[in-house]
Amino acid sequence: MLISRTGSIGVCVAACLVVASLAPMALAQSAYPDRAITVIVPYAAGGAGDVVLRAVSEPMEAKLGQRLIVMARPGAGGNLGAQAVATAAPDGYTLLLGATNNFVTNQFLFPSMTFDPLTDFVPVAKVADVPSVIFTHPSTPAKTLGEFIAYAKANPGKLNFGSPSFGTTPHLAVERLKLMAGIDMVHVPFQGAPPAVQGLLRNDIQLYLGGVAVGAGHIEAGTVKPLAVSSEKRLPALPDVPTIAESGVGEFGASNWWLLAAPKGTPATIVGQLAKAVDAAIGDKGVQERFAKFGFVGGTTDAVRISAELRSEAKAWGDVIAKAGIKLPK
């Protein structure tokens, strides 16, 4: 009996010790976040990703109870910033707000990438889609996208199109349009969107694909001409500009979305908290007004849908890159 009682007491003590040891872990998990969260945007400050993040940061911070620190880390087409997050601790305190190319196209353009964008991240939310506007110079006779395609067919190799950089979504989208429409245009890469727009204003390039915010002022001044928008519906910021579908041209993936992601292995509870914060931000009236002003469309936190879309888009863009023979310049 004595041995039995001693054994029972020992079991109780052991059980208490186990519970005591688990308590701090449970508290640590439930306390997330207990400090500021760093969100790396892998491009220069002031770009579309920066604008998207700053638009949603206030309601997200209110929901999370902590600050979001925006850190611009450009380089290698966004790969430097993405790699920094892929190798960060999966604790929810280092996140990536990357664009389409970070997750679905760079892997086909940068053979030396040391991480897999489809498996080394956990999607939190597509925060925003940035539909593109197809701009042309006013001297171009085309008034619609269909007319521009006809004009390009009549002038093979004589028209130029610009992009913010080689391998970016605007570059690849027009390459896809070229394949679909059977037209020949010369690609002129610039160092960012503003220089590309200046090239369009000078008529150095005759076509540029970019967000509303990039060309809104020039549209009002009549120095650029919008032909179509890539959104499913017409944009409130440009109600008179038809969609690509309305223009009678097949969809060629011209939008550039922004995805918030965490390193692989981040606990599902943390990912869920972050997703709820994004949901709160997307549903905020002030955020919706800012998004509409810049031509952004609120995204989704449906992880299953996001993962399926990433794999589908990766395959589609991989095919475009292969068929067009696109390779990074040496």
Residues 167 and 126 in one domain: no
pLDDT tens, position by position, 118-155: 999 999 999 999 899 999 999 999 999 999 999 999 99
Last residue within a domain, chosen from 211, 229, 247: 229
Residues 103 and 137 in one domain: no
Residues 175 and 215 in one domain: yes
Highest mean pLDDT range out of 10-14, 38-42, 47-51?
Answer: 38-42
Residues 45 and 117 in one domain: yes
Residues 108 and 163 in one domain: no
CATH of the domain at 153: 3.40.190.10
Residues 119 and 261 in one domain: yes
Tokens of 106: 């760079």
What is the arithmetic mean of pLDDT over 24-50? 78
Residue 4: is its pLDDT beyond 60?
no
Last residue within a domain, chosen from 212, 229, 246: 229
Q: What contacts 297, CB < 8 A, 6 or more positions away?
A: 128, 129, 130, 131, 231, 291
Q: How many domains does the chain have?
A: 2
> What's the pLDDT at 75?
86
Residues 126 and 143 in one domain: no
pLDDT tens, position by position, 76-126: 888 999 999 999 999 999 999 999 999 999 999 998 899 999 999 999 999
Count of C-beta atoms within a 10 Å radius of residue 141: 11
CATH of the domain at 44: 3.40.190.150
Q: Does 236 fall in a domain?
A: no
What is the arithmetic mean of pLDDT over 176-194? 92
Q: Does 18 fall in a domain?
A: no
Residues 215 and 270 in one domain: no
Q: Whole-model pTM? A: 0.82
Question: 13-27, 224-238, 244-258, 261-275: lowest mean pLDDT where?
Answer: 13-27
Residues 139 and 202 in one domain: yes
- Domain hosting residue 217, numbered range: 133-229
Decide which of 215 and 278 is more confident. Answer: 278
Residues 57 and 118 in one domain: yes
Decide which of 125 and 250 is more confident. Answer: 125
Residues 124 and 143 in one domain: no
Last residue within a domain, chosen from 229, 245, 279: 229
> What's the pLDDT at 330?
73
Alpha carbon of 94 to those of 70, 218, 293: distances in Å?
10, 37, 29
Q: Does 31 fall in a domain?
A: no
316-325, Cβ contacts within 8 angstroms, sequence gap of 24 or more:
316/253, 317/104, 317/105, 317/108, 317/172, 317/253, 318/105, 318/107, 318/108, 320/172, 320/175, 320/176, 320/179, 321/105, 321/108, 321/109, 321/172, 322/108, 323/179, 324/175, 324/176, 324/178, 324/179
